[in-house]
């Protein structure tokens, strides 16, 4: 009788443990998917902001130092999160424009 109880008790514990691992795996998988979605959303927002800033200052013909510093910070985080090199060309171009307004623009 003790063997019967021990045998089925161990099966019950083992089954409960496997069920717990299954639940933990599903929960973790869901969290990983959410984190990936958040990461991709932030990359998209950073890319959009860099492009908007680029267009704004290219239209003006100059980019103040504070704005250039800001766009560099955005670009650094964009790259850290795995952003692709598409925005790199924009960064190279915006670094070439003057940091102060020219007299003919006044």
Q: Which tokens hold the place of 22?
A: 């299954």
Structural domain harbouring 14: 2-105
Residue 6 has pLDDT above 80, yes or no: no
Looking at residue 95, what is its pLDDT?
A: 94
CA dihedral sign of residues 43, 49, 55, 57: negative
List pLDDT tens digits, range 67-81.
999 999 999 999 999
CA max distance for the chain: 100
d(CA 78, CA 80): 6
With bands split at pLDDT 50, 70 and 90, how would you rate the model's confidence at 105? low
Number of domains in the chain: 1
Angle at the Cα of 14 (from 12 to 17), degrees rounded to 5? 110
- Summarised one tens digit per residue, pLDDT across range 9-33 is 878 888 899 999 999 999 999 999 9
């Amino acid at each position: 009788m003790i063997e019967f109880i021990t045998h089925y008790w161990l099966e019950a514990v083992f089954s409960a443990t496997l069920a717990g691992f299954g639940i933990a795996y599903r929960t973790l998988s869901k969290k990983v998917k959410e984190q990936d979605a958040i990461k991709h959303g932030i990359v998209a927002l950073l890319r959009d902001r860099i492009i908007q800033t680029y267009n704004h200052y290219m239209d003006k013909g100059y980019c103040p130092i504070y704005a250039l510093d800001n766009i560099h910070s955005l670009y650094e985080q964009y790259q850290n999160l795995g952003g692709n090199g598409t925005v790199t060309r924009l960064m190279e171009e915006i670094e070439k424009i003057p940091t102060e307004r020219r007299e003919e623009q006044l």
